[in-house]
Structure 1
């Protein structure tokens, strides 16, 4: 009888280990998929900003818009349209899952307010800086924004006294070296006009997203991550439309310009098709990132999501360069090497790479 019980226990433990291994591997796959979705979000967003009314705004005659409006106000508008579409997808998903009531209830709670704060940082500031940088320098800015885990580790140490050991400092150093390699391609005669400024603006996005990660980590530890993401996307879309756009319009000398341009953007059907896709991909990316983190651990999930430093330029090259026939979306070899180096640096920050082999041996 004891032998039968012992054999049953061994089989149960083996089955549990197998199930845990499958769950862990599935989490890695989902986290990696979030990076791919982020790449397609970047590509479809850029494609949308080249269609319909956007082609007039960015065209040869610039539709009578000033350089400031074209560079910054339109960048903020592109971010606002994308985040608004993403918010619609998030609300639809919450409704289908029966969580729309929880969404409204969480808005006036402490975790909900924390997520709103995170969205205000990552939406109007970082998302707009990302779009502006993408328009000015192309997909080369994507690996630069992937510095956010490194920045988040530093800010976590400063703000929350979180651990910052030698391994993490090594990973940060690797990321910084990779960013300098990428930045070097924006300097020189072969670099596109405005590429260096675009890279510098991309650093603002990385800084904001690093700070957002610190803040949002606290919020999502206390509420359903699906609700947290919905709060984030809705807040980002609304704040972009009613806060940032009017500010840029006022700086351009005509506060009514924001409503005028927004109306034209949302009514441009040929462009909104691609914005709807970019919003869906952005929502899917966030959803898969949080879900992957919960399955394989936040550290490894962050490293897997950081592979968008490769997938971002790759998806832009496929969608915009190959299928869209748009020039300037290829990257020099040094940028591809630096993007892969950035991925390794993020992995070193997030965890000891040797743990991957140790876990494999245990399982």
Structure 2
């Protein structure tokens, strides 16, 4: 009887381990897909900002906009249009899933408020910095923004006393080295004007997203990830549209009326909105997969898998903008591709011991030192 009981227990343990392993692998796959969707979000949004009224603003500038308005206000507006489209996709998805009631109820809870805080940091601040960086320096800024997992690990140690061991510090060092390799291309004689500043602004985005990852980790551990992403996208879209853009309008333009006029023109520009609708969808899917993947395979590994957008971002921009749209300037030098791959490896080292990938199946390794 004892032998039979032992066999049953061993079988149950093996089945549980296999279920956990399959669940974790599915989470990794979802998180990896989020990185791919982030690449397409970047490409489609950038393409949208070259069509319709955006072509007039950035191209011939028939509207007579100042350089500071073009650089910063239009960057904030592009982020606002994308995030608003993404929020509409998120709310529609929640409605189809019958979770709109849960969405409004969660807004009043502590985890919901935490998600709002994370969205305010990762949305208006980081998203706008990301868009401005893209417009100033091109897709070269994407691997810089992929520093967010490394920054998140450091902030997690400072803010929440989370573990930061030698392996994780090594991974952070690899990521920093990769970012220096990318930044070195801006020192070349043929580097476009403003590239170095664009890279610096992109680092602000990485800082904000790293902080968002720390803060949102608390919120998503207590509420449905699909509700969490709906809160995130809705908050980011509204904050960009009704707070950040008007502020930029008052600072660099002619007041709220000026920014309102630009906003109406942006949302009524059909040739551009086609691509913003696509970029909003890709952004929604990317963030949803990121949050969902984190809940299945752990935040550290989920952020590492999502960090593969340091490769997918430049690749998708090259395919969509360079190949499909026939725009010049989107090809990247080999050093950037090499640095992007190096950064992916550094992110992986932060999240886990890479040697675990080569160990025998059926043996669980939770060692991360």
Fold match, TM over 0.5? yes
Give the unaligned 5+ runs of structure 2.
365-369
CA distance in 1, matches of 2:207, 2:8: 53
- Tell me the SS of whatever aligns to 2:54: helix
Q: How big is each residue's C-alpha offset from its partner over 1:224-273, in whole Å with a ceiling of 9 and x where there is no partner? A: 11111111111111111111111111112411111100000001111111
- Tell me the SS of whatever aligns to 1:185: helix
Q: CA deviation at 1:299?
A: 2.0
CA distance in 2, matches of 1:172, 1:11: 40
Number of residues of Structure 1 aligned to a counterpart in Structure 2: 363
What is aligned with 1:124? Answer: 124
Relative to structure 1, is the Cα distance of residues 158 and 4 closer, same or farther in structure 2, using a 3 angstrom cutoff?
closer
CA distance in 2, matches of 1:78, 1:296: 33
Cα RMSD for the two superposed structures: 1.7
CA distance in 2, matches of 1:286, 1:356: 26
Q: CA deviation at 1:167?
A: 1.1
CA distance in 1, matches of 2:154, 2:22: 33
**Contact 2:225–2:295 (CA under 8 A) maintained in structure 1:** no
CA distance in 2, matches of 1:248, 1:96: 35
What is aligned with 1:111? Answer: 111
CA distance in 1, matches of 2:345, 2:62: 42
CA distance in 1, matches of 2:286, 2:360: 26
Q: CA deviation at 1:360?
A: 3.0
CA distance in 2, matches of 1:290, 1:202: 22
Residue 19 in structure 1 maps to residue 41 in structure 2: no
Q: CA deviation at 1:193?
A: 1.7
What is aligned with 1:218? Answer: 218
Q: How big is each residue's C-alpha offset from its partner over 1:181-237, in whole Å with a ceiling of 9 and x where there is no partner? A: 000111222111211111111011011111111111111122111111111111111
- Tell me the SS of whatever aligns to 2:337: helix
CA distance in 1, matches of 2:335, 2:53: 35
Q: CA deviation at 1:295?
A: 2.1
Q: How big is each residue's C-alpha offset from its partner over 1:138-197, in whole Å with a ceiling of 9 and x where there is no partner? A: 100000000011111111111112221111111111111000000011122211121111
Q: How big is each residue's C-alpha offset from its partner over 1:266-287, in whole Å with a ceiling of 9 and x where there is no partner? A: 0111111110110000010011
Q: How big is each residue's C-alpha offset from its partner over 1:14-45, in whole Å with a ceiling of 9 and x where there is no partner? A: 44444333322222111110100000000000
Q: CA deviation at 1:325?
A: 0.3
Q: Is 8-17 or 57-66 further displaced after alignment? A: 8-17
